[in-house]
Amino acid sequence: MPTSKRNKTNWKAPDRLSELAEFRYQLRKFLSFSEGVSESRGIPAQQYQLLQVVAAVPAGHETSISYIAERMMVRHNSAVELVDRAEKSGLVRRAADESDHRRSLLEITERGGEVLTELVAKHLNEIEANGPEIRRALEKLLDLRPGTNRKSRDR
């Protein structure tokens, strides 16, 4: 009968480590899918993410480099470089900001819109197929929080 290796130290795994690890695994599986499907379409995953940010900007926000950097969690100079590459690929274009001519705002090009539409459809299909696994992992993690139970949260 096989036996599992036991930790030979006195270290004890933190509570909920297994659930947290499973949730992270499910997220990484989705992100890996996203990277693969973007690159199979000929664009790096970050450019797909950039298209999402530009297309989904909420009312009251502008598609400035600062906004892009914030939403993508990158430094300002990294966002500039990403926009430069996406612009060279014909996915986005810069437009002058009417209220501040020192900066530019981003717009999606027709090509960018076509790429985005195709990739969104593939991502939504993947979420339909494998989203329940992500949801189960998250729900299990949340259900195990100390002092909470699902019934009280759902009210």
Delineate the domains of the chain, giving CATH numbers in brackets: 17-145 (1.10.10.10)
Residue 7: the pLDDT is 60
Mean pLDDT of all residues belonging to the chain: 90
How far apart are alpha carbons 138 and 141 in whole angstroms? 5
pTM of this structure: 0.81
Phi, psi of 63 (to 5 degrees): -85, 55
Per-residue pLDDT band for 2 (boundaries 50, 70, 90) equals low
The pLDDT value given to residue 4 = 59
CA distances for 94 relative to 104, 109, 128, 137, angstroms: 6, 10, 34, 40
Answer whether 66's CB lies under 8 Å from 78's CB.
no
Compute CA 75 distance to the chain's CA centroid, rounded to the nearest angstrom: 16
Q: Is the pLDDT of residue 88 over 60?
A: yes
Over residues 19-41, the mean pLDDT reads 96
- Residue 155, pLDDT score: 46
Read off the pLDDT of each residue in 93-105 and give the average, rounded to a whole number.
Answer: 87
Q: Residue 97's pLDDT band (boundaries 50, 70, 90)?
A: confident
Average pLDDT value for residue range 26-43: 96
Q: pLDDT of 108-135, one tens digit each?
A: 999 999 999 999 999 999 999 999 999 9
pLDDT at 145 over 90: no
Whether residue 142 contacts residue 101, with contact meaning beta carbons closer than 8 Å, is answered with no
pLDDT of residue 146: 64
